[in-house]
Structure 1
Amino acid sequence: MFELTRYDGRHRVRGGIYLSIGLSLLAAMVIWVYPSFEAEVDLDQLLAAYPEPILQVMGVQTMASLGGFLSFELYTFGWIILLGLYLAYATAGTIADDVDRGRMDVLLAMPISRGRLIGERFAAMAVPIVGANVLPPVVVYVGAQLIDEPLAAADVLAVHLFSIPYLFACAGIGLLASVVFDRAAIAQRVALGVTFALFLSESLLSGTDAEAVGAIAPMRYYDPNEILLAGSYDFRGAAILLAMTLAFVVASQLWFRRRDIS
C-alpha cells in the first residue's frame, strides 16, 4: 500500500527542504526590515496612499503592527499567492507529465486502480505542503522576539497550520488540470491561470453584489489577518477547504477512470 506515495514523496523531500529554507529566508528578511520601516515611514499614512482596489486585492488591514506587516508582506504574497500558485503548478504535472512522456502505460500495467493511482500521487504532495510549514513558523516566532515585537506562539503556529488545507485545495486545482489535459505544459498553465483568477475574483468581488461567486475560491477561507491580528481561527473555513480538496480529488479520479490513455 502507498508505494506510489512513498516513491513520489521521497523525490519531493529535497524540494520541500529547499522550499522551507527559501520561505524561512523570506520571513527573516521581512522581520528584519520591519523595525527600520516602522521607524522611518508613517505606516498608516503609507497605507492610506494605496488605491482602495489594491488594498482590497491584497487583503491589507494594517501595517502598523508586525502581525499586520507579516500578513501583507509575507503571508499574502508568500503563502496565498506564490506558494498557492507553485503547488497548483507542481501538482498539474503529476499525471499529465507521465501521459505526455508516454510513461502512464507502465503505471497502468501495475496491479493498481486508476483511482488509487490518482489518490496516491496526490498524497505525495503532502511532503512539500507540510515541509514548507515546518521551519518558517520557528523563524517568525524567534525573529519577532528578537526585534521586541513578540507574537503569540499559538497564532504563529495557527497561521501555518490553517494554511495547509488552503495549499491542498490549490494542489487539488492542479490535480484536476493534470487529468483533464494530456500535455503537462498546458495543464500547468491552466492550473496557474485558474488559481490566480480565483484569487482575483475573491478579492475584487468581495463586498459587491457578486460576492457569492467568490465562494468557489480557496482564498476566501484562509485569512492570515484574522489569525495574526484578531487571534481568530476559522475552523469552518478549514473544513470547507478540506471538503473542496476532496471534491477535486474525487472529480479527478472519476475523470481519469473514463479517459482514454493513448
Structure 2
Amino acid sequence: MFETTRYEVGRRLKGSVYLSVAISIYAGFIVWYFTVLEDVAIEEVFQELPPAMLEAFGIQTLNTIEGFLGAEVYNFVWVLGLGLYFAYVAGGTIASDIENERMDLLLSLPISRARLLAEKFVSLLFPILTVNVVVGAAIYVFASAIGEPIDPTHLALTHLLSVPYLLVCAAVGLVFSVVASRAALAERGALGVVFALFLVESVVGGADQYDWIQYISPTHYYEPTPLLIDGSYDLIDSGILLVAFLGLMLLSQILFQRRDI
C-alpha cells in the first residue's frame, strides 16, 4: 500500500528541506530588518504606498511584527511564491512520466490510474506540511528572540489555513499535468493560471465594476495578515477552498482516465 507515495516522498525529501531552510533564512532576515526599521517612521511610509500595492500584498500595517511579516513574508512568499511553486511541481507529476515514457511501465503494474494519480498527489502533502511546520516554528523563535513574540495560536492558524490554499494551487498544476504531453508545458501552464488568478484578486478585483471577478481566485479565500494580527478568519473560506480542491482532483481523475497513453 502507498508504495508510489513513499517513493515520491523520498524523491521530494531533499527539496522540501532546502525549501524550508531557504524560506526560514529569508524570514529571519525580515525579522531582523524589522528591528532596523523600528527607529524609522515606517507608518508614514505605509500611508504613502499606492492603494494597489497595499491591496496586492495585503498590507494593513507595518509597525507591528505581525503586519510586517504579513506583508513581507506571507502575502509575498506564501500566497504568491509557494502557490506558484506547488502549481509548478504538481504540473510535472504526470506529464514528466508521460514525456519520459515511464507511464507505460507504471500502468503495467497492478495499480489503477485513479490510485496512481492519487498517490502521486498525496506525496505533495509532505513538502506542504514540512514547509509550514519548519518555517512556522522558525518565525516564532525569531520573533521571540527580538522581544516581539507572536501569538502562537494566530501563527498556527496562519499556517494551518494555508494548506487548503496550497492544495488548490497544486491541484491546478495536476489538471495541466494530466492533459499535457510535455512537462514543461504543464508546468508553465500551471504557473500562468495561478499567477493570473493572483492578479485577478489583487488588481482587477479591486475595481468596483469587476468586484465579482475576485471570487474565482483562491487568494480571495486565504488572507494571512488578519490571521497573524488578530486571528480573524472564516471557516467558510477554507471550506470553499477544499471544495475547489476536490473538484479539481475529480476533474484530473476524469481527464486521466480518458487519456490515451
Same fold, TM-score > 0.5, yes or no: yes
Q: Please report the TM-score for the alignment, with normalisation by the length of structure 2.
A: 0.96
Structure 2: distance between partners of 1:241 and 1:224: 15
Structure 1: distance between partners of 2:252 and 2:209: 32
Structure 2: distance between partners of 1:146 and 1:51: 32
Instruction: Give how far 1:212 is off.
Output: 2.1
Moved over 4 A (4+): none
Instruction: Give how far 1:187 is off.
Output: 0.6
> Aligned runs of 1:151-230 on 2, under 5 Å?
151-204=150-203, 205-206=205-206, 208-230=208-230
For 1:243, the equivalent position in structure 2 comes to 243
Instruction: Give how far 1:91 is off.
Output: 0.7
Q: Does the 8 Å contact 2:91/2:174 carry over to 1?
A: yes
For 2:81, the equivalent position in structure 1 comes to 82
For 2:25, the equivalent position in structure 1 comes to 25
Q: Does the 8 Å contact 1:118/1:249 carry over to 2?
A: no
Q: Does the 8 Å contact 2:172/2:190 carry over to 1?
A: yes
Q: Please report the TM-score for the alignment, with normalisation by the length of structure 1.
A: 0.96
Deviations 1:204-258 (A, max 9, x none): 2135232222222111111111101221133221121111111111100000111
Question: Helix, strand or coil: the match of 2:94?
Answer: helix
Q: Does 1:35 align with 2:35?
A: yes
Structure 2: distance between partners of 1:62 and 1:207: 22
For 1:102, the equivalent position in structure 2 comes to 101
For 1:257, the equivalent position in structure 2 comes to 257
Identity of aligned residues (%): 43
Q: Which amino acid aligns with 1:23?
A: I
Q: Which amino acid aligns with 2:199?
A: L
User: Matched residue pairs, number?
Assistant: 260
Deviations 1:160-217 (A, max 9, x none): 1111111111101110110111110011001000000000001121352322222221
Q: Does the 8 Å contact 2:158/2:228 carry over to 1?
A: yes
Per mean C-alpha deviation after superposition, the further-off stretch among 41-50 and 120-129 is: 41-50
Deviations 1:1-57 (A, max 9, x none): 222111111111111111111111111111011011121x21121112222112211
For 1:131, the equivalent position in structure 2 comes to 130
Structure 2: distance between partners of 1:211 and 1:254: 32
Question: Helix, strand or coil: the match of 1:151?
Answer: coil
For 2:7, the equivalent position in structure 1 comes to 7
Structure 1: distance between partners of 2:10 and 2:234: 32
- Compute the RMSD of aligned alpha carbons: 1.2
Structure 1: distance between partners of 2:247 and 2:108: 27
Q: Which amino acid aligns with 1:165?
A: P
Question: Helix, strand or coil: the match of 1:60?
Answer: coil
Structure 2: distance between partners of 1:60 and 1:200: 16
Q: Which runs of 5+ in 1 are unaligned?
A: none
Q: Which amino acid aligns with 1:48?
A: Q
> Aligned runs of 1:62-77 on 2, under 5 Å?
62-77=61-76
Q: Does 1:234 align with 2:226?
A: no
8 and 257 in structure 1: CA distance in 2 versus 1, 3 angstrom threshold: same
Per mean C-alpha deviation after superposition, the further-off stretch among 180-189 and 142-151 is: 142-151
